[in-house]
Amino acid sequence: MKVQNYAELMVALDTPSIQQITITDTIYVPQSIHLPKGLILEGINKEQSGLFFGDGDGIGLTENNTVQNLTVQVSPVNRALFISSIHENLGKVTLQNLNVTGQIQLITRETTQQLQLKINAIDIVSADVRQRKETQSYFGVEVVQGALTVFNFCTDNKSEIQLEIDGISIGRKEAPVLGSGVLISGYGVTGGKVVADLINTNAIYSNGMLPLGVNNIISGSLFIMAGVEVEQIVNSKELVTYGVNGMVLDNWGKVSNWIAKDNIISYGPSGIGFVNFGVVENFVSKKKIETFGLGARGFNQYEGTIDKAQFNEIITHGDGAIGIQVSKPVGEIRIDKSLTTLGSKGKTLVKGQIFELSADGISVLPKGTIQKLHIEEGIRTEGDGVVSLKVAGQIHGYSNNGEVLANGRDAKTIVIEDSGEIKNI
């Protein structure tokens, strides 16, 4: 059924026999709507067809719904699309070719066991998700929800969301969404899961808007939380975070293959380029990881492991901003160009606490192990009192076709601490 105004839309939604509604104009809607089971809601195209919600949230999804070819606008603090059903099986929900203002929040609750979710060609222009309550905490920190949030909030480990994302853009350069960009979460390691074959992102710009000194809340461009298993992640365009504690890429789950094709950039204090608490088999960064803030490290392996990580280039500018820090056993790390840190000592967030660290180039902590480390064009540090390569753990195979430079006052090139060891290839 084709509709061109609010009255026709409400009649169509209240008619059980109608399975498809086509919006032919832009329509002001005074309050939220909820789609009946099996309904397809679509526009002719995003330019001509739109739903603009005057008060509260936008479109509630129930079961086997499709929303496509539309512009959907709510106030940025509200939800443009959300799940409003607690059915056991939500069937297949498809969101595609949408231009959105406001959050897309897709949370399944305690009674839901199954959902197939497909997201394709979505552009979230603006959203403010800082007041959303559902979150995970890990090592003393909580994560702000994303402008796109997919969350299995069921405690039953048999509950599963099957997810595919192929094209999601969030925020604008220098006009980021407020909160995280994309957050995908299960109910921890013991509860409901999210299983994804593909997560393919376009450009994402986010800002958690956190005050300096907050140590128990973080945000990020793309968060893969505990309880999530992903076969392939592709970051096709640049990812940028602004503000305090803005991680660009952060993994607490399991990822088989991950490729970032464009720049990974952080502009805020303690904004790490890539953080891994989970398990990653293969990670490739085709362009640079660059951080500008105080204590904003390039790559940090906290917990879990990574089998193989290949970086193009890592640059950190801030005091306390280590290039690479490894505190657990990992496989192979390769840097195709160089690693550079420009800062000296400074404060940084580590597992929910603020510490003062030096902006060392590569730091392998006592429990950290790197099976193979190769750097093609060397390590360079510019700060006073820093170390370009500091090893308190183990590097079983080390090779470097460039130089190791420490240009700051009282800086050192290579320091092996305690029972640390480096074995050259």
pLDDT in tens, 185-233: 999 999 999 999 999 999 999 999 999 989 899 999 999 999 999 999 9
pLDDT-above-70 percentage for the chain: 100
Q: Is the pLDDT assigned to residue 111 strictly greater than 70?
A: yes
pLDDT in tens, 143-165: 999 999 999 999 999 999 999 99
pLDDT band at 348 (very low <50, low <70, confident <90, very high): confident
pLDDT at 359: 97
d(CA 353, CA 214): 9
pLDDT in tens, 75-86: 999 999 999 999
57: which strand partners?
none
- Tell me the CA distances in angstroms from 298 to 213, 339, 382, one per residue in order: 20, 9, 16
Region 112-140 average pLDDT: 94
Least confident of 126-140, 155-169, 172-186, 403-417: 126-140
pLDDT at 242: 97
d(CA 120, CA 227): 23
265: which strand partners?
240, 290
Q: Is the pLDDT assigned to residue 352 strictly greater than 90?
A: no
51: which strand partners?
27, 72
User: Is 389:404 a contact under the CB 8 Å cutoff?
Assistant: yes
pLDDT at 138: 79
Q: Is the pLDDT assigned to residue 179 strictly greater than 70?
A: yes
Q: Is the pLDDT assigned to residue 119 strictly greater than 80?
A: yes
d(CA 399, CA 375): 6
pLDDT in tens, 38-59: 999 999 999 999 999 999 999 9
Nearest to 220 by CA among 320, 149, 139, 133: 149
pLDDT at 210: 96
pLDDT band at 425 (very low <50, low <70, confident <90, very high): low
d(CA 77, CA 58): 11
All residues at 6 or more sequence positions from 121 whose CB lies less than 8 Å from its CB, including other chains? 96, 97, 98, 166, 167
pLDDT-above-90 percentage for the chain: 93
Averaged confidence pLDDT in the chain:
96
